[in-house]
Amino acid sequence: MSPRTNKQWESLRAEKRELIKQTALELFANEGFHSTSIEMIAQKAKISKGLLYNYFESKEDLLKEIIYSASNELWEKFDPNHDGILTDEEFIYFIRATLYAIEANPLFWRLYTVLMLKPNIVHIIGQELIKASAMHIHVLLEYIKIKAQTDVETEMFVFSSMLKGAILQFVSAPEMVPMAYIEKHITSFYAFRYKIDLQNITSK
């Protein structure tokens, strides 16, 4: 058997790293962050504890990676052309992308919801996450300022609350509140409020 190439080794490392992240996500979401140990993650991933530490320095480091990866993936769908200006179509697309990201990865959003209610964990990820999303939030605020023509902070609070409410409802009882129903009502609300013509905006 010929030795592996650098590209093959890189691919194997990426696969192992993703396996560790997905295993940790499942345990964090189902067992709780504090109740999950590095040993539990390594055992479930069928790797040694020492090997796990070759990929992540600590359990906190692993949690940050999980949160940042999912957040960055979502923010990539915000202002897709990266021109710093949000259009009506991009705003509606971001709402849809956010809601369907919840449907596609309920384990992550269950974990996220629990973490946001625990001040002793929020400090691990909170400030860095805010910094990472600051530019996107600024662009969103500028869009809302133009469309709402009212108290921008209150409007942003309402927008954020609607999305967080959708997350909470879906992770609590996904079978009772279909995401398509939530998406239709939130986009319809903002189409009316911000005078957006949904007929000229393609679906997700």
The span from the CA of 18 to the CA of 144, in Å, is 37
Residues 6+ apart with CB under 8 A from 49: 38, 39, 42
Longest dimension (CA), the chain: 68
Token pair for residue 54? 């070759």
| Range in 12-21, 57-66, 171-180 with the lowest mean pLDDT | 171-180
The mean pLDDT of 187-194, rounded to a whole number, is 93
The span from the CA of 26 to the CA of 157, in Å, is 30
The mean pLDDT of 143-150, rounded to a whole number, is 87
Q: Are 102 and 169 in contact (CB under 8 A)?
A: no
The answer regarding whether domain 1-56 maps to CATH 3.40.640.10 reads no
The span from the CA of 24 to the CA of 111, in Å, is 11
| Alpha helix segments (H runs only) across the chain | 6-31, 38-45, 49-55, 59-75, 88-104, 106-116, 119-148, 152-172, 179-193
Residues 6+ apart with CB under 8 A from 124: 60, 63, 64
The amino acid at 106: P
pLDDT of amino acid 94: 92
Confidence class for position 169, pLDDT limits 50, 70, 90: confident
pTM exceeds cut of 0.85: no
Task: Name which of 69, 66, 71, 91 is nearest 80 in CA terms.
Answer: 91
Q: What are phi and psi of 116, to 5 degrees?
A: -65, -15
For tokens 């005078």, name the residue.
195
Domain ranges for the chain: 1-56, 64-200
